């Protein structure tokens, strides 16, 4: 899907530790990304967009973009994510992934290609559509855009190239050293949880493990979920 990216590899190879972290973290998150992408019929390469956005880290940007897919609050809420002082589903791996792929698919439908959709993810689909219309072009590759978006697809392609060909540059990360997702079970709760420590003990786990496995829980408890829904809390098996 992405163009072959070799022109920018040299600068990135000056920080091999970051590439190693990409590869290690991919073991934890790529299986979820790949599952969702298969389910919706979207290109597998879109998983590298998350690496370019967040380095596969639950990051927060100066513009309040949060999580693996770096949603700002308005876009996250528009794609069904609950975001408030107690819960931030931008930090829920599967829900944020489904929201991100939904947003990308909307860009594919409105702007005609996955490259256009990825560029729209960076600058907003309506902004990209406005540029396509004004410049009378159909492809991202033919557009004059701001510096960040004009480099965005190359950045994703470069990440893909380095992660898939790291061994050719002397960067070896054995499978045994890659992070993996925890083996968990999900407990559904239809009511509020006043004290998450007591809830954890009652369910055979600890407050620490609940917080680490559910980074979307921001506080020490949970309010009642939205009507007709239940919290899905992961606990170690």
* Residue percentage of the chain with pLDDT more than 70: 94
Positive or negative CA dihedral for 209, 210, 214, 219?
negative
- The pLDDT of residue 25 is above 70: yes
Distance (Å, whole) CA 69 – CA 75: 11
Cβ neighbourhood burial of 145 (10 Å; 0-12, 13-18, 19+): middle
User: How open is the CA angle 65-67-72, to the nearest 5 degrees?
Assistant: 25
Could you tell me the fold of the domain covering 9-177? Answer: Lysozyme (1.10.530)
**Which residue carries 């392609």 as its tokens?**
157
| 66/71 Cα distance (integer angstroms) | 5
13-37 CB burial, b ≥16 within 10 A, e <16: eeeeeebbbbbebbbebbebbeebb
Q: What is the pTM of this model?
A: 0.93
Among 74, 91, 80, smallest CA distance to 126 is for 74
Read off the pLDDT band of 228 (50, 70, 90).
confident
Q: Is the model's pLDDT at 6 over the cut of 60?
A: no
Three-state secondary-structure class, residue 155: helix
Q: Does 7 have pLDDT greater than 60?
A: no
Q: Give the residue ranges of DSSP H helices in 41-80.
A: 47-54, 73-78
- Is the pLDDT at 126 greater than 90? The verdict is yes
Q: Which two tokens stand for residue 224?
A: 């009642």
Q: What is the pLDDT of residue 229?
A: 94
Instruction: Report which of 218, 209, 215 is spatially closest to residue 236, judged by C-alpha positions.
Output: 209
Contacts of 138 (CB under 8 A, 6+ apart): 112, 132
Between 227 and 8, whose confidence is greater? Answer: 227
- pLDDT of 171-217, one tens digit each? 999 999 999 999 999 999 999 999 999 999 999 999 999 999 999 99
For the chain, give the mean pLDDT. Answer: 94
Distance CA 174, CA 186 (A): 30
Confidence band (pLDDT; 50, 70, 90) for 168? very high
CB-based contacts of 217, cutoff 8 Å, min separation 6: 86, 87, 196, 210, 211, 233
Q: What is the pLDDT of residues 28-65, one digit of tens each?
A: 999 999 999 999 999 999 999 999 999 999 989 999 99
Buried-exposed string 124-143: b where 16+ CB fall within 10 A, e elsewhere:
ebeebbebbeeeeeeebeeb
Q: Are 221 and 194 within 8 A, CB to CB?
A: yes
Distance CA 92, CA 76 (A): 11
Kindly tell me if the per-residue pLDDT of 13 is higher than 70: no
pLDDT band at 15; cut points 50, 70, 90:
confident
Q: What is the pLDDT of residue 5?
A: 47
Domain chopping of the chain, boundaries:
9-177, 184-236
Tell me what percent of the residues of the chain surpass a pLDDT of 90. 92
């Amino acid at each position: 899907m992405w163009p072959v990216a070799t022109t920018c590899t040299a600068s990135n190879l000056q920080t091999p530790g970051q590439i190693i972290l990409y590869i290690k973290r991919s073991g934890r998150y790529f299986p979820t990304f790949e599952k969702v992408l298969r389910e919706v019929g979207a290109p597998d390469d879109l998983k590298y967009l998350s690496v370019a956005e967040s380095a596969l880290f639950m990051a927060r940007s100066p513009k309040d973009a949060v999580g693996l897919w770096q949603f700002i609050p308005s876009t996250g809420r528009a794609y069904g994510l609950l975001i408030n002082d107690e819960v931030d589903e931008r930090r829920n791996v599967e829900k944020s992934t489904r929201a991100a792929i939904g947003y990308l698919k909307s860009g594919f439908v409105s702007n005609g290609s996955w490259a256009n959709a990825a560029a729209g993810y960076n600058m907003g689909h309506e902004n990209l559509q406005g540029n396509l219309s004004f410049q009378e072009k159909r492809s991202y590759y033919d557009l004059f855009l701001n510096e960040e978006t004009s480099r965005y697809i190359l950045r994703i392609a470069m990440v893909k190239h380095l992660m898939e060909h790291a061994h050719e540059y002397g960067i070896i990360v054995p499978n045994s050293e890659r992070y993996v997702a925890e083996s968990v079970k999900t407990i559904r709760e239809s009511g509020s949880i006043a004290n998450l420590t007591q809830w954890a003990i009652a369910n055979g786990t600890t407050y620490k493990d609940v917080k680490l496995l559910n980074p979307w829980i921001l506080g020490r408890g949970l309010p009642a979920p939205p009507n007709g829904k239940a919290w899905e809390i992961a606990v170690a098996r």
